[in-house]
């Protein structure tokens, strides 16, 4: 996959160097086009070294008749303009082609996804002329990632900040993935739950939420309307998903899932829901002097089982089984007991909290082993389900 990155002379240009680094780590092939003004802020050498790529700045730097703007614009699978200055946006909106960057922007085929990352001083951004220009690009099929609010390089506070590069990478993935889940609605749970002992203590588990968040990101990428119900995690809310709900306890998660369940086609229960909650929860902090306090446990609601009882024929119910022994055997038992369509079984001791995983996708018909990054495994799971 080839990414053509246009860079204009916004002060956030140093963040575009990190973008190139991230794109390289994702194994994208990259070419960079800089406006002449951008090359006054940062040397093209920096982009070239970090991205292991060619950097072009001059329309007329022909190499043996190889015309840069016509060749590169055709080669690109995605064109990203980040940071996009008010000036370059205005020129592209007006159809000007007075440097290599704007010439390429004009030559990019209509079908090629184009991502605009406007960053500038708030007054420049809020100016109706800039707004109009951005809207012209939107109307011409550009995908615009809105700038964020906060402290700007000029010292002012407002809207205009460069977004997290991860958002740009996620948008590239979203715009280029096959839409095998188009018109489908996917409901996912993720993370651990917390069961209170008293107002400041709880019992929980080591689930990081990474698998569920990866599944949510990939579901969105593949075209699904995506809702993620998450227990407490340290992860960022996935950028593009349609609904995100935070819950704490198993009971809260159950209630939220139940509220949504009937509206979804594929339901994937990744969360490590606590099996037990505290029966004798204390309304006030238990004092340490009270050292012989005994915690009494009781079962929480079994969300997957409850859903297995009410699921319709046209719904696909997927459960996860985090086991520490007899992974496949317990997974097979769970498939039948919970009336699920698939159980994704894994060895929690090996994969909990990690970025990589190895799972067994168990259905009535077969067992498939899938291994790799959690995002890769999520994509494989959807291929199998579809």
Ligand X SMILES: Cc1cc2nc3c(=O)[nH]c(=O)nc-3n(C[C@H](O)[C@H](O)[C@H](O)COP(=O)(O)O)c2cc1C
Choosing from 29, 37, 54, 204, the residue that interacts with ligand X (CB under 6 A) is 37
Element (H, E) at 278: strand 276-278
Q: Which residues contact 298 (CB under 8 A, 6 or more apart)?
A: 276, 277, 278, 279
Which CB, 135 or 324, lies closer to ligand X? 135
Q: What is the largest CA-CA distance in the chain?
A: 85
Least separation in angstroms between CB 98 and ligand X: 9
Which DSSP category does 46 fall into?
H
- Which CB, 103 or 347, lies closer to ligand X? 103
* Dist. CA 269–CA 191, nearest whole Å: 10
**How far apart, in Å, are the Cα atoms of 380 and each of 211, 314, 354?**
13, 21, 18
User: With binding defined as CB under 6 A, does residue 188 bind ligand X?
Assistant: no
Identified binder of ligand X from the candidate list 50, 86, 137, 266, rule CB under 6 A: 86
Residue 35 in the binding site for ligand X (CB under 6 A) = yes
Q: Does the protein bind ligand X through residue 8 (CB under 6 A)?
A: yes
Pair 348, 364: CB distance under 8 Å: no
Distance CA 77, CA 168 (A): 15
- Which of 39, 57, 73, 87 lies at the binding interface for ligand X (CB under 6 A)? 87
Q: How far apart, in whole angstroms, are the C-alpha atoms of residue 183 and residue 193?
A: 30
Catalytically active residues, by annotation: 154
Tell me how crowded residue 114 is: count the other CB atoms within 10 A of its CB.
23
CB of 82 to ligand X, least distance (A): 11
- Shortest approach of ligand X to residue 66 CB, angstroms? 23
Task: Quote the least distance from Cβ 13 to ligand X, whole Å.
Answer: 8
The answer to whether 124 contacts ligand X (rule: CB under 6 A) is yes
Is position 117 an interface residue for ligand X (rule: CB under 6 A)?
A: no
Which residue, 86 or 108, is less far from ligand X as judged by CB?
Answer: 86
The whole-angstrom separation of Cα 318 and Cα 188 is: 9
| 29 in contact with ligand X (CB under 6 A) | no
CB of 62 to ligand X, least distance (A): 21
Minimum CB distance to ligand X smaller for 89 or for 317:
89
Q: Among all chains, which residue has been given the structure tokens 């406006």?
A: 35
Q: What count of other Cβ atoms lies within 10 Å of the Cβ of residue 339? A: 15
Single out the residue of 6, 10, 319, 331 in contact with ligand X (rule: CB under 6 A).
10
To ligand X, the closest distance from the beta carbon of 207 in angstroms equals: 41
Could you say whether residue 85 binds ligand X (CB under 6 A)?
yes
**Nearest-CA neighbor of 117 among 35, 7, 268, 29?**
7
Task: Select from 360, 354, 349 the least CA-distant residue to 318.
Answer: 360
Span near ligand X by CB under 6 A; candidates 85-93, 167-175, 330-338, 365-373: 85-93
Residue 270 interacting with ligand X (CB under 6 A): no
Q: Of the candidates 59, 119, 207, 230, which one interacts with ligand X according to CB under 6 A?
A: 119
Tokens 């006030």 locate to: 284
Positions in the binding site for ligand X (CB under 6 A): 8-12, 35, 37-38, 85-88, 119-120, 124
């Amino acid at each position: 996959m080839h990414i053509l990155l246009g860079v204009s002379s916004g002060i956030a240009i140093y963040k575009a160097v990190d973008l190139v680094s991230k794109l390289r780590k994702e194994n994208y092939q990259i070419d960079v086009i800089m406006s002449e003004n951008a090359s006054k802020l940062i040397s093209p050498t920096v982009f070239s070294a970090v991205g292991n790529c060619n950097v072009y700045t001059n329309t007329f730097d022909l190499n043996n008749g190889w015309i840069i703007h016509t060749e590169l614009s055709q080669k690109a699978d995605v064109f990203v303009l980040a940071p996009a200055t008010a000036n370059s946006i205005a020129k592209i909106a007006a159809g000007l082609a007075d440097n290599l960057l704007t010439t390429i922007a004009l030559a990019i085929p209509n079908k090629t996804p184009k991502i605009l990352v406007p960053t500038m001083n708030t007054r420049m951004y809020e100016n109706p002329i800039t707004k109009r220009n951005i809207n012209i690009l939107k109307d011409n099929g550009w995908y615009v990632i809105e700038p964020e609010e906060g402290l700007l390089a000029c010292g002012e506070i407002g809207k205009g900040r460069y977004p997290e590069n991860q958002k740009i990478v996620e948008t590239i993935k979203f715009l280029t993935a096959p839409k095998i889940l188009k018109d489908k609605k996917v409901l996912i749970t993720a993370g651990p739950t917390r069961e209170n002992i008293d107002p400041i203590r709880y019992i929980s588990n080591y689930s990081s939420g990474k698998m569920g968040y990866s599944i949510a990101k990939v579901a969105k990428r593949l075209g699904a309307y995506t809702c993620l119900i998450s227990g407490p995690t340290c992860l960022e809310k996935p950028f593009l998903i349609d609904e995100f709900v935070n819950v704490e306890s198993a009971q809260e998660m159950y209630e939220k899932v139940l509220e949504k369940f009937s509206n979804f086609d594929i339901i994937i229960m990744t969360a490590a829901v606590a099996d037990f909650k505290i029966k004798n929860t204390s309304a006030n902090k238990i004092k340490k002097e009270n050292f012989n306090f005994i915690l009494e446990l009781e079962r929480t609601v079994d969300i997957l089982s409850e859903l297995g009882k009410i699921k319709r024929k046209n719904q696909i119910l997927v459960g996860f089984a985090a086991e520490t022994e007899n992974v496949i055997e317990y997974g097979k038992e769970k498939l039948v007991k919970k009336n699920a369509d698939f159980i994704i079984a894994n060895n929690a001791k090996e994969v909990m909290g990690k970025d990589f995983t190895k799972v067994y996708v168990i259905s009535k018909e077969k067992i498939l082993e899938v291994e790799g990054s959690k995002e890769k495994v999520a994509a494989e799971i959807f291929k199998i389900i579809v």
